Amino acid sequence: AAMFAAGLFVCSLAAFQVVSRAQYAPDEVTHLPGMSFKPNYRQWSGHLQARPGKFLHYWFVTSQRDPVKDPLVLWLNGGPGCSSLDGFLSENGPFHVNDNGATVYENTFSWNKIANVLYVESPAGVGYSYSDDRKYATDDDQVADDNYKALQSFFAKFPNFTQNEFFIFGESYGGIYAPTLSLRVATGAAKINFKGFSVGNGLSSFELNDQSLIYFGYYHGLFGEDLWRDLNINCCDKESCDFYNTSSAQCNTLVNVAFGIVYSSGLNEYALYLDCEGGRRFHRGYQRTMSHLFTNSRKHQDSHKKFSDGVSPSASVGEVPPCINSTAQLNWLNRGDVRKALHIPDTLPPWDICSDVVGGQYRNLYPTVKDVYLKLVSLGLRALVYNGDTDMACNFMGSQWFVEHLGLEATANYQTWLHDNQIAGFYEQFGNITFLTVKGAGHMVPQWAPGPAFHMFQSFITNSSY
């Protein structure tokens, strides 16, 4: 608490310093409908140019502590095709939307308490990002290129922030976005003071994600002995099990039954121990997203469709990933006065949390980002791979196996870390890369464990112990 109080004191001074730093007055957000408090930071919302004709919507908030010295952090949500404004308005932004969809409240654990944070909606076609030609087919490398160009566009607007230490954070499919963009930043010509990247509940390897989920499901009591025995008989030999790339039709059927329990029986796939909010309606853009996650098991998946709850595939705009309620954010962001305050052109369509158009045409190019990580670590960059340990979309074990399989030498054995004198999770280190769990949190760690998430964030960006 003392730190926050000190932060408030510095802010009044910092606000004056920043005036000279920001070069892009037209994008400044001077008021926001539904905000009854006066923010002690400055914010801008507008568009950054990626490839010609492609414009990514950004929302940038300065640090509440010392914008001049504090790091700059880029935040990317995943999908592919889901909006980073979910990160702002539900996870780690300076304020969140009340359930009424009309007013906002301050987030005590906002990451901009100690950092300047840049939220970018990517790729074009997501949220308020757009392309002049309205063509939204893209792939992992194009997205990394576009995000790199958008970053350069950001630094052209805000040149004074090129000196700040820079970090990239990605969540979920951001497991692909963050390292691929990091490699471009680390090896590209643009002068950026890049220090490291982090991936939260990320997809890093399709194979390890699928393979580990079967173990996660069984040992969390979701499958029962009969299914587990059948999986072992049909998918395993004496040495090992292969739930991912099997040639056995019987094994494949059983794996799909298991995935069906995880994803379409009514469990909250993002947080096993939280209720499923808003019934089991889902967002079609999200259905596409999940089809990217489990590419292999879907090749023969006619017998057991994952989304088999009888919902018509043309779920209406405004429905969200299963068991997640984002109605408040959706209603607030689509208000005419909010759009105007954020400088969103009238010609752009309504905001939605995920885009079916982007997700449906998206091409995955990286079955694993192992080689990308090894290059980044060899360049001396720091990395944090963290997971809420109740998530099933990108479970912690898949991430743990991924980090352990990089073949790096362990420098700190698996051990607990504390927040408020309680065990907040576990971590292990391999030189510059840390794998860390957040106990009891689901897919969106900053949303469901805001205190521990802030602690972890602060430790990582200051390169101090957890």
Radius of gyration of the chain (CA): 21
Please say whether the beta carbons of 202 and 286 come within 8 A: no
86 domain-assigned: yes
27 domain-assigned: no
Q: Are 68 and 152 contained in the same domain?
A: yes
Domain coverage including residue 272? 207-307
Is 391 annotated in the active site? yes
Please say whether the beta carbons of 121 and 129 come within 8 A: yes
Distance of CA 208 to the CA centre of its chain: 19
Q: Are 289 and 247 contained in the same domain?
A: yes
* Residue in 172, 204, 264, 297 annotated catalytic: 172
* Residue in 391, 399, 419, 455 annotated catalytic: 391
Tens of each residue's pLDDT in the chain, 466 residues: 444 444 444 444 444 444 445 567 899 999 999 999 999 999 999 999 999 999 999 999 999 999 999 999 999 999 999 999 999 999 999 999 999 999 999 999 999 999 999 999 999 999 999 999 999 999 999 999 999 999 999 999 999 999 999 999 999 999 999 999 999 999 999 999 999 999 999 999 999 999 999 999 999 999 999 999 999 999 999 999 999 999 999 999 999 999 999 999 999 999 999 999 865 544 444 455 555 555 554 433 332 222 223 332 333 333 357 898 999 999 999 999 999 999 999 999 999 999 999 999 999 999 999 999 999 999 999 999 999 999 999 999 999 999 999 999 999 999 999 999 999 999 999 999 999 999 999 999 999 999 999 999 999 999 999 9
Q: How many domains does the chain have?
A: 2
Overall residue count recorded for the chain in this entry: 466
268 domain-assigned: yes
Q: Are 84 and 159 contained in the same domain?
A: yes
> What pLDDT is recorded for position 307?
28
Is 172 annotated in the active site? yes
Of the three residues 258, 277, 307, the one that is the final residue of a domain is: 307
431: left (phi over 0), alpha (psi -120 to 50) or beta: left
DSSP strand pairing (104-106 vs 95-97): antiparallel
CATH number at residue 96: 3.40.50.1820
Q: What are the φ and ψ backbone dihedral angles of 161, each rounded to 5 degrees?
A: -90, 0
Q: Are 70 and 121 contained in the same domain?
A: yes
Please say whether the beta carbons of 108 and 151 come within 8 A: no
> What pLDDT is recorded for position 22?
54
Q: Are 239 and 270 contained in the same domain?
A: yes
374 domain-assigned: yes
Is 242 annotated in the active site? no
Distance of CA 340 to the CA centre of its chain: 26
pTM of the model: 0.90
